[in-house]
Chain A
Amino acid sequence: MSDITRSDVAHLARLARLAVTDDELDVFSGQLDAILDTVGRVSEIPDDVPPTSHVAPLTNVLRPDEPAPSLPREAALAGAPEAEEGRFRVPRILGESQ
């Protein structure tokens, strides 16, 4: 059994910027528990099997370093809720940065 608590769910919801109600914390913690248990069966595989991150047997798919056209700025900004001085305008950011 995994052990996803209500506070784990609240934390994940905050990271993902999801609004989760008090009732949903109970629902999701139970559901995530079940999901993790299922995924956890992967750990039954012996250690000497290398992990698979991709199903396609491809490597080194590389692009030459040659410029391709970018979008016109008007097109780039067209989908933005707000733009100013040729830039995307976003609400104030507090408490976090990369």
Chain B
Amino acid sequence: MTSTVDAAPYTVEEVCERFDPVMGLEVHVELNTATKMFCGCRNEFGAEPNTNVCPVCLGLPGSLPRVNGRAVEGAVKIGLALNCQVRERSGFARKNYFYPDMPKNFQISQYDDPIVFDGYLDVPLDDGTTWRVEIERAHMEEDTGKSLHMGGATGRIHGASYSLLDYNRAGVPLIEIVTKPILGAGTRAPEIARAYVSALRDVVQGLGVSDVRMDQGSMRCDANVSLMPKGTTEFGTRTETKNVNSLRSVERAVRYEMGRHAGVLLSGGTITQETRHFDEQSGTTSAGRPKETFADYRFFPEPDLVPIEPSAAWVEELRAGLPERPWERRARIQTDWGLSDEELRDLVNAGALDLVADTVEAGAPAESARSWWVSYLTQQANTAGVELAELAITPTDVARVIALVAEGTLTNKLARQVVDGVLAGEGTPDEVVAGRGLAVVSDDSALTAAVDEALAAQPAVAEKIRAGKTKAAGAIVGAVMKATRGQADAARVQSLVLERVAAGA
């Protein structure tokens, strides 16, 4: 088997002088439903091992699966967002294989009638153009349990002496999204693979049906790569690289496999159809197992589950409720708010775009909303060492603070104290204003008394103002602000000082 010997990888440019790459990407997305696909066990990440298991997901004899309606909805939403057709009648099938990550010895999946099919995603690339990736299908299935391989040096399956199984993840709703072969990408294949997974992640995140955390495994990518000699149209033998757990890894894995295939082929070898394991550290892949042929899975209709027939009315209702695509939203926001490319990029990089947009939707002017999130709140997030979105303040809270400033109840300085109060868990902005007694002193009689007092305390200054040196009023304003502990509107105090002097105080 020549393919197990790693020939020196070629660069993608060198590869594409001789070959055209063909890619197929399979992305698994775990839905964030409350419960599993076929039973009422909780779907949660990080629970104690084997605490979210029951007879159904443990495959105990006599147990029967029941389909989670919310998961079907999630699958249809993903399909619609990918411009897919929704199948009028769709069924479940058993995929048989012998491996302890599924205690039933089969996985309930879908075979030849996936819930959605034939779609596309227009993927934005870094240079501003888009690349259309055709979607073959997306189907519903259940996730598998997690294995810990014990006794080996690296936790890998090779060299392990036994394995430990946690079935909390077994049965979690999983949507597998499969592209049609991606042709003609040439040297941009690695970039397009990454951009596709990134765009898909953004779309699914926008739908709110999955956490799409690649680091936690709620989104996983398998990258199929093959090469065909330039000028030919018959696909070469492909390899399927698994365990590609970040956007960067998607790009690196495709690049590495292109180079490796070219190395094998150019040295006269042949590619073995197999799964390969991507190693994040070295950026290389290593041989997994020879791929079972499709027939070996012995698919047959799941006798315990009846077909799904989504009604046209329900599908249209879901279609009407689809959110704007994330990049379309960004483009619209940029126009609406009159942002430069740089300002938009800063907002996106700071993780502030959605927060600002939500603040604007809650009634705040775009400029104030942007300013709060990118300056004061970003500082607070940095100080606390958390992401902006993790701060204990909502866009609605920020919009309320902005409104309080606009109506004169708060000065900017007081507003920051109110925000501090909200961040400290003291309640809503209004509760913090009441609790800390932070409202601007707008009671004119109270302010007038304070002004009169300050004028009386500094007769020399009062005399200067009377003589027309209005700049001297600053000293009186300062005294009043001090007396009111900063809770007065300085401009209002300034005009009151002049009024009182004119009135003979």
Binding site for B on A (CB under 8 A): 15-17, 53-54, 56, 58-71, 73, 76-77, 79, 84-98
User: Is B166 an interface residue when CB atoms closer than 8 A count as contact?
Assistant: yes
Q: In the complex the two chains form, what is the Cα distance from A86 to B148 in whole Å?
A: 12
The stretch from B298-306, B361-369, B373-381, B444-452 touching chain A is B298-306
Contacts of B60 in A (CB 8 A): 79
B328 within 8 A of A: no
Asked if B35 lies at the interface with its beta carbon under 8 angstroms from chain A, I say yes
CB distance from B167 to the nearest CB of A (A): 7
28 A–B pairs (Cβ distance < 8 Å), ordered by A: A15-B96, A15-B97, A15-B98, A15-B298, A53-B301, A54-B301, A54-B303, A60-B309, A62-B67, A63-B68, A65-B69, A65-B70, A66-B34, A66-B35, A67-B42, A71-B55, A73-B48, A73-B53, A86-B48, A86-B50, A88-B166, A89-B164, A90-B165, A95-B289, A96-B97, A96-B98, A97-B275, A97-B288
Besides the contacts A86-B50, A94-B157, A98-B99, what 12 more A-B pairs have beta carbons closer than 8 Å?
A: A15-B296, A53-B303, A65-B68, A66-B34, A67-B35, A70-B42, A73-B48, A76-B167, A87-B50, A88-B103, A92-B162, A93-B149
* Measured CA separation A71–B39 after assembly (Å): 12
Judge if B161 is at the interface, Cβ distance under 8 Å. Answer: yes
Contact surface of B with A, Cβ cutoff 8 Å: 33-35, 39-42, 48-55, 58, 60, 66-72, 89, 91, 96-103, 107, 144, 147-149, 151, 157-158, 160-167, 275, 288-289, 296, 298, 301, 303, 305-309
Specify which chain A residues have a CB less than 8 angstroms from the CB of B52 in the assembled complex. 70
Residues from chain B with Cβ under 8 Å of A17 in the complex: 98
Measured between beta carbons, the chain A residues less than 8 angstroms from B164 are 84-85, 87-90
- Tell whether, in the assembled complex, residue A88 and residue B167 are in contact, meaning their CB atoms are under 8 Å apart: yes
CA distance A84 to B40 in the complex (A): 25
Q: Which A residues lie within 8 Å of B102 (CB)? A: 98
A57 → B minimal CB distance (Å): 9
Q: For the complex, give the distance between the alpha carbons of A36 and B449 in Å.
A: 103
A62 touches B69 (CB 8 A): yes
Residue in A16, A54, A68, A86 whose CB lies within 8 Å of B35: A68
